[in-house]
Amino acid sequence: MKIAVYGKSHGRDATKEAFNVLLKLLSDANVNVYVEADFLDQQNISENLISNIKKFTALDTSFDLVISIGGDGTILRAITFVRDLGIPIVGINTGRLGFLATIQTTEIKAALAQIFKGNYKISERSLLSVTTAPDNEAISETNFALNEIAVSRKNTTSMITVVTHLNHEYLTSYWADGLILSTPTGSTGYSLSCGGPVITPDANNFVITPIAPHNLSARPLVIPDHTEITLKVDGREDHFLMSLDSRIVTLPNTATVTVRKAGFAIKMVELLDETFLDTLRKKLLWGEDRRN
């Protein structure tokens, strides 16, 4: 078995501790371990473990599994390595919420035992892909997002206007701080904090959520995921920001942004006793109201 490990420490002791526990378990299981080069260089690893580890800077189809150590943001960065290779990803949570990274540090041994036995399921997550006219080199290689694509104002306190078309039909012009296009996976992220709905991962939908719209009748809109969305931004500044998950680029107001469903999905590993509804209850504290 060939396993890739990716992580982001951010100075957190929990990540370093989880990484060392993971390496010991993988070493005992006699699997081939490859660790992302930058992440490995940040770690202090004992000599008896480091000798069995190789570095990677890119992945290929020979890998059986990717293990992410960190929070949900770490998984979002890990998918830039996985891309369309179809390698399953499992997340160990050393961050905060953990909607994607669902394995807690105290559960690593038990979770790995189940995964090695094949006792898990795969949740396929749809992605958004983006193109711009004219082309932008900064996003040409990684023009996809698992959570959301958002456009927002840059270097100004003034709102922007986002002219929006769906399948070439005019929808509206949002006057707001920006606009979020979210996948079902991203519906529990930025979109949720801006008033968007929660969508189950297997739903064939995307969500359009305005960011602080001036028109109070501008509400989040759920659309089929086969919809093509075209955005044109206008504002007092000559440029605006576009984010693809955690990656940000600056675009001129002359640019046209087109967003579609990506031609591939990300495979998330889920243990058999995990469900999305259970995660919702735990992470959003549903049912914790003492009046219930």
Per-residue pLDDT of the chain (292 residues), as tens digits, is 999 999 986 666 788 888 989 998 998 888 999 999 998 888 777 666 677 789 999 999 999 999 999 989 999 999 999 999 999 999 999 877 788 988 998 999 999 999 999 999 999 999 999 999 988 888 888 999 999 999 999 988 899 999 999 999 999 999 999 999 999 999 999 999 999 999 999 999 999 999 999 988 899 999 999 999 999 999 999 999 999 998 999 999 999 999 999 999 999 999 998 889 988 888 888 877 777 6
DSSP 100: S
> Residue 260: how many CA atoms within 13 Å on its side-chain side?
10
Cβ atoms of 147 and 245 closer than 8 Å: yes
Active site residue 234: no
CA–CA separation, 208 vs 182, rounded Å? 7
The β-bridge partners of 67 are: 5, 90
Q: Which of 13, 60, 72, 273 is catalytic?
A: 72
Q: In the chain, what are the domains?
A: 2-118 (3.40.50.10330), 127-263 (2.60.200.30)
Q: What's residue 225's pLDDT?
A: 96
CA angle 27, 122, 148 (to 5 degrees): 105
CA–CA separation, 131 vs 259, rounded Å? 7
- E strands, the chain, are 2-7, 32-36, 53-56, 65-70, 89-93, 103-104, 120-133, 144-145, 148-152, 160-166, 169-176, 178-182, 205-211, 221-224, 229-234, 239-244, 247-252, 256-271
Q: What's residue 47's pLDDT?
A: 63
Q: At what angle do helices 108-116 and 13-28 cross, to 10 degrees?
A: 40
The neighbour count for residue 20, using CB atoms within 10 Å, is 15
Buried b (16+ CB within 10 A) or exposed e, 154-190: beeeebbebebbbeeeeebebbbbbbbbbbbbbbbbb
